[in-house]
Structure 1
Amino acid sequence: MSLVDDPADVLAEIQKTPAARTPLVPPRPPLAPQTMSTLRRLTTMRTNGIATWSERAYQEDMLQGSFFGRSSFTLNSPAWIRHVLIDNYENYRRTPAGIRVLQPMLGEGLLLAEGKTWKHQRRTLAPAFTPRAVNTLVPHMLDVTNETIQELAGQQGQPIDLREAMQRMTLEIAGRTMFSFGMTEHGTALRNFVIEYSANLARPRLFDLLLPLGWPTFQDIQRRFFRRRWTSFVRKLIVERRATAKPDAAPRDLFDLMVGASDPETGQAFSDDNLIDQVATMILAGHETTATALFWSLYLLAQDPASQDEVAREARAARTAGGEPEIEQLKFTRAVLDETMRLYPPAYLIARSASGPDVIDGKAVKKGDAIFIAPWLLHRHQKLWDNPDAFIPQRFLSGTAPDRFAYLPFGVGPRVCIGAHFALVESTLALAKIVGQFRIELLSTQPVMPVGVVTTQPDYSPMFSTTQR
């Protein structure tokens, strides 16, 4: 088959091939023992939350235990997950520990807001993330991806840190789609903020879990000092962007859309302080999770040459007259991303605290009890998936969509990620263009282990090589 065949023919051939190949099974952390002390679980959680689960967690519908004097429920049943995230979602809010960890970076933005404040923010932001609005931002995505490809072309024959390359690329896309200017001047500072916080303040400690939210811990004091510096930095970006504003011009980026937005029910727009939190949320949540998904996709494709070649064939067959891929034709590329996010979900854990009493599967839930929904577990659960630890993109081409409460890369329900479509468009186009241009090979021989700390990160950055196709 040539590299310019009809995309339908490419897809038909792809769907014929999975049975003929032994699927890739990437490494994962060792299973935890069946019983762990609270101290050991806490210590392990701080370094890698994924390593706290035993074999039972991948087999049973519910795990019930205790968590610092409160009952805890880990849910693996789609029916009960629907109950918590949709049917009775207002009864389940972020845990105090989760707020402590995320609030210094995200403030009162959409990800952490609750109740009427969240509803106002969601209604106000929704028009900026419709497919039509995202389409206007695609040229920014393609420009940055093409620049990254040029940089990679200049590094052929050399070891390349593709994780860093994807972080820089998605950060630049975040900057241009948000502000219409590049992050050359500010990118290093922004990355330093993210690295500093992730390394020092994003991991919950004992008192973060034990003390009420209103009682500051030593880490909270450090987080407050960090937040002052962080919000000052974001405010500087906003001031710089406003200096280039063009009165009465059509919106050219997310910032224009957010500034011009108002709640359709109340007519209320964002205050300057809340705008800072929204910008911080969109830049951080967008670029870090997308970079991680792209890194894991390239890591898997480097170990599965047949799938990598299929992405390359599809990318070239889907090119339009302008030379850019048509996203509707990138079905296998999208399946690779879907399967990657199944194996390495961007958010490995969703934690909620019950605001009031409830009943789940006949078991009483009391106010303050902890509810855990772990996409990492759901996506690898032995009752929900065939060959759950294997990389099989074709499972997303079968024509039968997975249960929407068993596959949660962006959450589900009213609080589903508002930027999901944006992220999928960006990552699908970027993956197709990069793999369509280069053959990716993994140079490092040490296994890459996933680490669950806020997002599903690699334990180190392996080296790759790229060769022009």
Structure 2
Amino acid sequence: MGFKQDLPNHIEYKQLNLPFFIPANIKIPDYPDKVSEKVCPFKRMLRAGYSNSQLELLNASSFTDLQSKGRLGKFITLLTNPSVVKSLLTFKSKKFIKSPVVVWLLKPLIGNSLFICNEQDWAGKRKSLEMSLRRIPWSVLIDKCNDSADLVFQHFCSQPHNRVTANAIAQFYSADSVARVLTGHSIGAISGFDEIMKVFHSYESNILRCAFLANLGFPKLILGYFFKFKANAVRSWVEKLVLNSTLYSNANQQPTILDVLWHRESNPVIPSVPLDVLDTSNDIMLSGFSTTASAVASMLYLLSLYSDEQQLVRNEVRSFTTGLPRSLEEHELSSAIYSMAFVAEVLRLYPPVSFIQRIATSHNQFVESIFEEGSLILVSPWAIHRHYKFWERPNHFCPQRWLDSNGSVAQKISDAQYLPFGKGHRGCPGEKLANTILLVILTRIVQKFEIKRVTHAKVAWKSQLSLRSSKPISLLIRKI
């Protein structure tokens, strides 16, 4: 179903064919962290140096593409028109490539892996990864995510009343889920997780500054000292996790992505892990963890704000389990339509990747836009997901917008109005895994706990490798 542009402010919930009761008079809650309605000059964002990716400076009330000259005389363009965005992201050409600065920053961390590749290299590596992911059954993904959720509850929610942060839960659960799917082991199999996460966050902060300085012409050889040692430390930790993975002991053991990448199903005795497998493993672990942790933290934040929406998800889960505290099975998760709508709305308001970058390799006209050679092109899902032209009440949290009159969840959005996983041949190949991780933690946590905010101050957001809150979001979790 495509998104209905004439979506009314109030949906007739009595018409929805859901497996649980939704009150017909429920109110769509106000969304608290509104984008400023003032038109902010694009140059202010450039002068800010992207140090915090000043999201509040994005003009959400206009759909005009913005272009400005940077300090080195090169054009920087913020694309917001969905038709142009769709064409750019699905266009297979060497005219628009990943930024060489981004490649330089990430290579110490993930080597020559999928995320930093262009065109032909990208196509080959993506096909290999997609085939590997398809060979992992959804039931296996669900089992591993449920195991991670149980471990989270043991770590953070052992007391009747427990004060925790959304960031801590999201970080631990996301890293553990991805590690289990990748290697079959929990992150607890390797010590030093908390310490390496501090190093990783320091690396994130440093590369943003280094990216800005590199674009201004500062020598990369000098700038590299500010982040390469941290990148190497993080990479070494992930490699230990990969190398710690045990070989198949029997044919009934659940497969992992590493098994498929390493071809261990057919040859369980392989002496060492190839470099390209280590690179891909680092890519999956770090990019999967970073973006998923961002989405989980946002989801917990929204659960804490909207008790009515939290209760609706809880009612749906209970309709499957008849009140028993158990995890949902594969067929039940695929039928949890309100929970899926909740996840879709979280990703709309808080897309984990707030900016997608491309570099024009030559002077050319593309669709409706003209790009100078070397100009930086930015696509912002954050801005596009909040535009009034394509979203009814775009700054409001409303999972109901994803449901049609038959109670089905929208599976497809026309053009490029919805980009949490990118678009086209360069879209995220881990979309299914990310959605599974989010859906499992949502249904598991509302079943066992009630989540509330400790304070109601507005949350400021910034974009590094992924979107995150400037300060930890404190939550109060009470066992039900």
Do Structure 1 and Structure 2 share a fold, with TM-score over 0.5? yes
**Equivalences for 1:297-336 in 2 at 5 Å?**
297-319=299-321, 323-325=326-328, 326-336=332-342
1:276 equivalent in alignment to 2:278: yes
1:455: Cα distance to partner?
1.2
1:231: Cα distance to partner?
3.4
Residue of structure 2 in register with 1:344 after alignment? 350
Contact between 1:292 and 1:457, CA under 8 Å: does it hold in 2? yes
Residue of structure 2 in register with 1:51 after alignment? 56
Instruction: Provide the secondary structure at the position in 1 that maps to 2:334.
Output: helix
Contact between 1:378 and 1:407, CA under 8 Å: does it hold in 2? yes
2:141 to 137, 141, 145: 137
Determine the C-alpha separation between the residues in 2 that align with 1:277 and 1:140: 23
Identity of aligned residues (%): 21
1:216: Cα distance to partner?
1.7
Write out per-residue CA displacement over residues 203-236 of structure 1, whole angstroms, 9 at most, x where no aligned residue.
Answer: 4454321339xx5252223333334333333333
Determine the C-alpha separation between the residues in 2 that align with 1:255 and 1:314: 35
Determine the C-alpha separation between the residues in 1 that align with 2:444 and 2:147: 11
- The answer for unaligned runs of 5 or more in structure 2 is 1-15, 266-271
Residue of structure 1 in register with 2:401 after alignment? 395
1:341: Cα distance to partner?
0.9
**Equivalences for 1:91-110 in 2 at 5 Å?**
91-110=95-114
1:462: Cα distance to partner?
2.1
1:449 equivalent in alignment to 2:449: no
Write out per-residue CA displacement over residues 148-183 of structure 1, whole angstroms, 9 at most, x where no aligned residue.
Answer: 234444233232113201211121112222212221
Determine the C-alpha separation between the residues in 2 that align with 1:112 and 1:311: 38
**Letter matched to residue 292 of structure 1:** S
Instruction: Provide the secondary structure at the position in 2 that maps to 1:158.
Output: strand
Structure 1 pair 259–202 and aligned structure 2 pair: CA distance change class (3 A): farther
2:31 to 19, 25, 37: 25
Residue of structure 2 in register with 1:294 after alignment? 296
Write out per-residue CA displacement over residues 263-306 of structure 1, whole angstroms, 9 at most, x where no aligned residue.
Answer: xxxxxxx9722222111111111122212212111211211111
Structure 1 pair 339–283 and aligned structure 2 pair: CA distance change class (3 A): same
Write out per-residue CA displacement over residues 51-90 of structure 1, whole angstroms, 9 at most, x where no aligned residue.
Answer: 332x3x5312312222331223222222111211113454
Determine the C-alpha separation between the residues in 1 that align with 2:156 and 2:344: 25
Contact between 1:96 and 1:209, CA under 8 Å: does it hold in 2? no
Contact between 1:311 and 1:332, CA under 8 Å: does it hold in 2? yes
Write out per-residue CA displacement over residues 411-454 of structure 1, whole angstroms, 9 at most, x where no aligned residue.
Answer: 01001101100110111011111012111111123221121222
Residue of structure 2 in register with 1:265 after alignment? none
Write out per-residue CA displacement over residues 85-141 of structure 1, whole angstroms, 9 at most, x where no aligned residue.
Answer: 113454211113322333332222111112322222112111222275343232111
- The answer for unaligned runs of 5 or more in structure 1 is 1-7, 263-269
Instruction: Provide the secondary structure at the position in 1 that maps to 2:176.
Output: helix
Structure 1 pair 89–422 and aligned structure 2 pair: CA distance change class (3 A): farther
Structure 1 pair 255–202 and aligned structure 2 pair: CA distance change class (3 A): farther
Structure 1 pair 200–370 and aligned structure 2 pair: CA distance change class (3 A): closer
> Which stretch shifts more, 272-281 or 336-345?
272-281
Instruction: Provide the secondary structure at the position in 2 that maps to 1:159.
Output: strand
Contact between 1:93 and 1:355, CA under 8 Å: does it hold in 2? yes
Instruction: Provide the secondary structure at the position in 2 that maps to 1:313.
Output: helix
Determine the C-alpha separation between the residues in 2 that align with 1:249 and 1:324: 22
Determine the C-alpha separation between the residues in 1 that align with 2:347 and 2:124: 30
Residue of structure 2 in register with 1:377 after alignment? 383
Residue of structure 1 in register with 2:372 after alignment? 366
Write out per-residue CA displacement over residues 7-64 of structure 1, whole angstroms, 9 at most, x where no aligned residue.
Answer: x8545744x64x64142212146577633656x73435202331332x3x53123122
Residue of structure 2 in register with 1:267 after alignment? none
Aligned length: 447
Structure 1 pair 227–459 and aligned structure 2 pair: CA distance change class (3 A): closer
Determine the C-alpha separation between the residues in 2 that align with 1:307 and 1:249: 40
Determine the C-alpha separation between the residues in 1 that align with 2:310 and 2:115: 34
Residue of structure 2 in register with 1:353 after alignment? 359
Residue of structure 2 in register with 1:168 after alignment? 172
Alignment RMSD: 2.8
Structure 1 pair 318–93 and aligned structure 2 pair: CA distance change class (3 A): farther
**Letter matched to residue 310 of structure 1:** L
1:460: Cα distance to partner?
0.9
**Letter matched to residue 402 of structure 1:** I
The two structures have a TM-score, normalised by structure 1, of: 0.86
1:459 equivalent in alignment to 2:470: yes
Contact between 2:142 and 2:440, CA under 8 Å: does it hold in 1? no
Contact between 2:164 and 2:475, CA under 8 Å: does it hold in 1? yes
Structure 1 pair 211–99 and aligned structure 2 pair: CA distance change class (3 A): farther
Determine the C-alpha separation between the residues in 2 that align with 1:204 and 1:404: 34
1:66 to 58, 69, 80: 69
**Letter matched to residue 221 of structure 1:** Y
**Equivalences for 1:187-336 in 2 at 5 Å?**
187-211=193-217, 216-241=220-245, 244-246=247-249, 252-260=255-263, 272-319=274-321, 323-325=326-328, 326-336=332-342
Determine the C-alpha separation between the residues in 2 that align with 1:32 and 1:280: 41
Determine the C-alpha separation between the residues in 2 that align with 1:432 and 1:114: 38
Structure 1 pair 221–126 and aligned structure 2 pair: CA distance change class (3 A): same
1:357: Cα distance to partner?
3.3
The two structures have a TM-score, normalised by structure 2, of: 0.85
**Letter matched to residue 307 of structure 2:** P
Q: In proportion to residue count, which structure has more helix?
A: 1
Residue of structure 2 in register with 1:149 after alignment? 153
**Letter matched to residue 240 of structure 1:** N
Determine the C-alpha separation between the residues in 1 that align with 2:154 and 2:422: 35
> Which stretch shifts more, 284-293 or 399-408?
399-408
Contact between 1:344 and 1:450, CA under 8 Å: does it hold in 2? no
Write out per-residue CA displacement over residues 232-259 of structure 1, whole angstroms, 9 at most, x where no aligned residue.
Answer: 3333333322x54549886621110111
